[in-house]
Each structure stands twice: as structure tokens, then as C-alpha cells.
Amino acid sequence: MPELPEVDSYRTGLAKPLIGLEANGGKALWHRASDSNFNLVKGQKIFGLDRRGKYLIINLNTHHIIIHLRMTGRIDITKGETPKYTTVEINFTDGQKLCLVDYRKFGRVWIVKNINKIVGHIGIEPLSKQFTSNKFEEMLEKRTGMMKPLLLNQQFIAGIGNYLADEILFRSSIHPMRKANTLTKVEKKQLHRDIRYIIKKSISYGGTTFLTFRGPEGKKGDFWKQLKIFRKTGEPCPHCKKPVTRIIVGQRSTHICENKQKII
């Protein structure tokens, strides 16, 4: 957390206030948040924003500012006092500044010419045209591991985190510990559809706010109201009314309906 939908809300929501601004340097207020040279962006204008997986990419004339929010990061645009817990600050010539606000200090910022230096290892984008049903079947062909850790593997598919994985697998009626090589052709096609469906639906609600996430203009993500299984331990499954179970899969807290999602 934040996952793909939350980062995408910044990509779209920050475009209007940021595009056209001229950078005037910046600094890391927490030394581990960035070791980049902020003088590199001086005099450069922002002309667009992109996203790769959970990474936000701010495009300038010759360089890119890449931000990973990690667990508790958020982005504030302010003209006044620097917000508490700011770890990185990017300044603009009009007096505004972009602040990475992160009380746990895990978020990171890079300034690079080639984005692949930072995001080149990331897997396929699940909403891209390249992520077809046939491509997904091909990706699963030689995989033998458990399904949930595989979905969380950022080198396999970009941007899926814990809550998305639980919701996707529940919708697909697939147990998180099912081995990838046990899925039928029908199940693979259904899972492909559900990956795209759940991510698109979360984006449409601005992502999910559990604790600290705030999107552009401080808005909370409302997809948490649509969650069917994640963090619903003991509550009735919306499919069969049996209590939702919490288990640990790959060291991650995982929520399932044992009736709907059979391990086989």
C-alpha cells in the first residue's frame, strides 16, 4: 500500500496542477529518501506524468522524477509551510513545492535520464494492450509457485499488492495457495479478466484508503467500501455467507472464503 490504483490517482490528479511548472531544484530532508542531485532539474518544465507499476513518473525536458510511495507515502503540492513528515521536497519557480510526506520514511525519490534504470525490472502492466489473455496464459506456462505470491511478484505483473490480490483471487474462486500449474485454461481466462476488472474498479473509486493514503487534494480512496474479502475476517462471505478466514500466505496476511476458494 499504496498500490497501482492509488498511484494512478496521482498520475491523473496531479497532471493539471503540475504540467507546465518549472522546477527550481529541491532537497532530501531525510537522507535515505533520495541520493539524487536535485540541481539536475533546475530550469526544466514538467510536460507529463506516467506510471509504471507502483512508481509515479514525472517527465521533465531531459530528466524524470520517479517516486515510490512505499507503505505510508503521499504527495502534497503546497505553497506554504512544508508539511510535517516531509522527506523530499521539489521546488518550483512559482513558489509551489511538491512534497513526499511519509511518516515511516520508506518512500524513495530518484532523478534519472533513463527510467529503465529504476523501473526496467518491472513486469507487464495489467491494463496494457500487451496483457492479453493469451499472453497471460503464456506467462503462467512454466510457473509452479502459489498464486498469491505470484500475483504479488512485481517482476511478473506490475502494481498488484495485498488487497488487490485477495480481491482478484476471491472473484476468480482461486485459493491463494493454489499452484499456478494446476489452473485450467478456463480458470486462467477468468483470472485474466478479474485482474483487469478489480484494478479498473479500484481506479474508478480513487483507490483505497486504509490508514494514511490521501490522493490529490487530500481525497481518500473509496474502493474500501467495495471490498468483498480483504480484512473481512469473521464476516459473512458475500458469496455463501460462511465466515471469511484469515491465513498467512508467503508471510502476507490473506483473506479467503474456504467454501468458494478451494485449494484442490
Query: Which residues are marked as active site?
Result: 2-3, 54, 252
The Cβ of residue 201 has, within 10 Å, a number of other Cβ atoms equal to: 14
Q: Which three cell numbers stand for residue 193?
A: 479478466
Closest to 254 (Cα-Cα) out of 151, 164, 166, 159: 166
Check if the beta carbon of residue 7 is closer than 8 Å to that of residue 107. Answer: no
| CA separation for the pair 56, 1 (Å, rounded) | 14
Over its C-alpha atoms, the chain yields an Rg (Å, rounded) of 20
Per-residue CA distances from 149 to 45, 156, 244 (Å): 40, 10, 20
Q: Which three cell numbers stand for residue 6?
A: 492509488
* Alpha-helix residue ranges (DSSP H) falling in 76-233: 116-119, 133-140, 147-152, 162-171, 185-204
Query: What is the per-residue DSSP string for 178-201?
Result: -BGGG--HHHHHHHHHHHHHHHHH
The dihedrals phi and psi of 144, each to the nearest 5 degrees, come to -125, -5
